[in-house]
Amino acid sequence: MRTTVGIIGAGPAGLLLARLLHRAGVESVVLESRDRDYVEHRQRAGILEQGTVDVLRAAGAGDRMDREGLPHDGIELRFARRRHRVDFPALTGGRSVMVYAQTEVCKDLIALQLEEGGPLLFGAEALAVEDADTERPRIRFRHEGREDVLECEYVVGCDGFWGVSRTAVPSGVSRVFERTYPFSWLGILADVAPSHDELVYARHERGFALLSMRSPSVSRLYLQVPAGTDAGEWSDERIWEELERRFETADDWALARGPITSKSVTPMRSYVHEPMRHGRLFLAGDAAHIVPPTGAKGLNLAVGDVVTFARALAHQRETGSRERLDAYSETCLRRVWQAERFSYEMTSMLHRAPDATPFDERIQLARLARLTASRAAETDLAHGYTGFPLE
């Protein structure tokens, strides 16, 4: 098989890249190791930045998002039983975010790709990226019980941390920066209408909690728990009781309970792989970087990566200049590190470390008090949350 761009991974990054390339008249083939049902139902992020929303609309993939997604103009911060709303449009000149699950983004992009785009092969396991430092890189893969080779002009690895793309970058040129946090998130899905119309980030002496949602009738909630926690150790009653403690306020607000349909534990980690390009291999999304979920940046960073690649390739085809392709890693990493900073600051401000001292806790409260009293500090948070510009 031959194509212009070989894409490994049919998550939102790989699927969006295929869509952008199709609309630009560039051939691509997408290889996905899992089956379609798995891709369309794996639970992941649900907050889309303004830039991501704009890109999906421009790519012709925003119709159902605009019908069913939940636009959010702010978040609420809670601490010391106080409530403070951050108004995004008022602080950013009109920017906001959209609650629309990654599963739904994937369903929309898969439908478009199968109807209009190039080949999308499910059950196609990428085995290796070869000759990345030549003008004809290759992807060895297994599909329907036999091995095959996809010859490309470019390879974009959207196959996550455990995929083959990242390991194809020689160790001698790779640099890794990472931080593992001593806590995780216990997340639940519950069949109950959200108890607030916007996301609630709660800092409590017992630990962090987040109130989110998947739809007007399904709530998504999280609790900070020790690293290594088994979700099965937490009964439904224990979860609801702990959520009620951490979300408590001085007014009459109450958390609505409902049947819990799913429980999972998410480790907290920061990771960056540099460079994000080797020859004609380009890394995107979790293959290159991971952020703790506190800042809602993971999916949005992946979108920024593939938009950067698509624009750079279009520039090369229009002008003959490889300048923007050559600058792909540097361009992406500027945004990646700002997102890492933002996610780290949100995480450290809202979570209680196992070894936290009374001094540490007072500093957290002082940082939150600063946000509620300073328009400049609040504006910085609003700009970070709604998204850093796509260069």
**Residue 330 sits in the same domain as residue 219:** no
**Residue 118 sits in the same domain as residue 197:** no
Which pLDDT score, from 0 to 100, does residue 388 have?
86
88 domain-assigned: no
CB atoms within 10 A of CB 69: 21
82 domain-assigned: no
Tell me the pLDDT band of 44, cut-offs 50, 70 and 90: confident
pTM of the shown model: 0.95
Distance CA 201, CA 345 (A): 13
Q: Reading across the β-sheet that carries 154-157, which strands appear in turn?
A: 120-122, 28-32, 5-8, 154-157, 281-283, 277-278
Which pLDDT score, from 0 to 100, does residue 301 have?
96
Which amino acid is present at 56?
A: L
The CATH number of whichever domain residue 192 belongs to comes to 3.30.9.10
Read off the pLDDT of each residue in 101-130 and give the average, rounded to a whole number.
Answer: 96
Read off the pLDDT of each residue in 126-155 and give the average, rounded to a whole number.
Answer: 97
329 domain-assigned: yes
81 domain-assigned: no
Average model confidence (pLDDT) across the chain: 96
85 domain-assigned: no
Question: 306 is in which domain, residue-wise?
Answer: 5-72+96-177+269-346
Query: At residue 389, does pLDDT exceed 90?
Result: no
Contacts of 201 (CB under 8 A, 6+ apart): 75, 76, 77, 78, 208, 210, 294, 346, 350
86 domain-assigned: no
Tens of pLDDT along 220-262?
A: 999 999 999 999 999 999 999 999 999 999 999 999 999 999 9
Which pLDDT score, from 0 to 100, does residue 375 have?
97
**Residue 100 sits in the same domain as residue 249:** no
Find, among 246, 201, 162, 181, the residue nearest to 47 by Cα. 201
Tell me the pLDDT band of 390, cut-offs 50, 70 and 90: confident
The CATH number of whichever domain residue 41 belongs to comes to 3.50.50.60
Tens of pLDDT along 284-299?
A: 999 999 999 999 999 9
222 is catalytic: no
Q: Are 91 and 383 in contact (CB under 8 A)?
A: yes
Tell me the pLDDT band of 45, cut-offs 50, 70 and 90: confident
**Residue 149 sits in the same domain as residue 285:** yes
Read off the pLDDT of each residue in 367-385 and give the average, rounded to a whole number.
Answer: 96
Q: Are 64 and 104 in contact (CB under 8 A)?
A: yes
391 domain-assigned: no
**Residue 25 sits in the same domain as residue 163:** yes
Find, among 55, 6, 35, 375, the residue nearest to 158 by Cα. 6
Catalytic hit among 100, 293, 328, 351: 293
**Residue 120 sits in the same domain as residue 41:** yes
Tokens 């019908």 locate to 67
Find, among 292, 334, 383, 307, the residue nearest to 97 by Cα. 383
Strand, coil or helix: what is 8?
strand
Question: Lowest-confidence range among 33-47, 208-222, 272-286, 288-302?
Answer: 33-47
Distance CA 256, CA 281 (A): 48
Which pLDDT score, from 0 to 100, does residue 246 have?
98
Tens of pLDDT along 185-204?
A: 999 999 999 999 999 999 99
Cα distances (Å, whole numbers) of residue 95 to 77, 199, 381: 19, 16, 12
**Residue 51 sits in the same domain as residue 136:** yes
Which pLDDT score, from 0 to 100, does residue 283 have?
98
Query: At residue 353, does pLDDT exceed 90?
Result: yes
Query: At residue 281, does pLDDT exceed 80?
Result: yes
**Residue 128 sits in the same domain as residue 240:** no
Query: At residue 98, does pLDDT exceed 90?
Result: yes
Query: At residue 391, does pLDDT exceed 80?
Result: no
Which pLDDT score, from 0 to 100, does residue 350 have?
97
**Residue 12 sits in the same domain as residue 34:** yes
**Residue 130 sits in the same domain as residue 222:** no
- SS percent in the chain: helix, strand, coil, step 5: 40, 30, 30
293 is catalytic: yes
Query: At residue 324, does pLDDT exceed 80?
Result: yes
**Residue 173 sits in the same domain as residue 186:** no
Tens of pLDDT along 77-88?
A: 999 999 999 999
Catalytic hit among 201, 204, 292, 351: 201
Question: Lowest-confidence range among 40-44, 143-147, 153-157, 278-282?
Answer: 40-44
Catalytic hit among 22, 204, 289, 297: 297
Residue 261 dihedral angles phi and psi, to the nearest 5°:
-105, -15
Per cent of the chain over pLDDT 70 is 100
247 domain-assigned: yes
182 is catalytic: no
Catalytic hit among 22, 72, 289, 351: 72
Distance CA 357, CA 339 (A): 27
Q: Where is the domain boundary, 329, 346, 363?
A: 346
Domains in the chain, number: 2
Catalytic hit among 181, 222, 328, 385: 385
**Residue 67 sits in the same domain as residue 168:** yes
Residue 6 dihedral angles phi and psi, to the nearest 5°:
-90, 125
Which pLDDT score, from 0 to 100, does residue 147 have?
97
DSSP-assigned letter for residue 31:
E
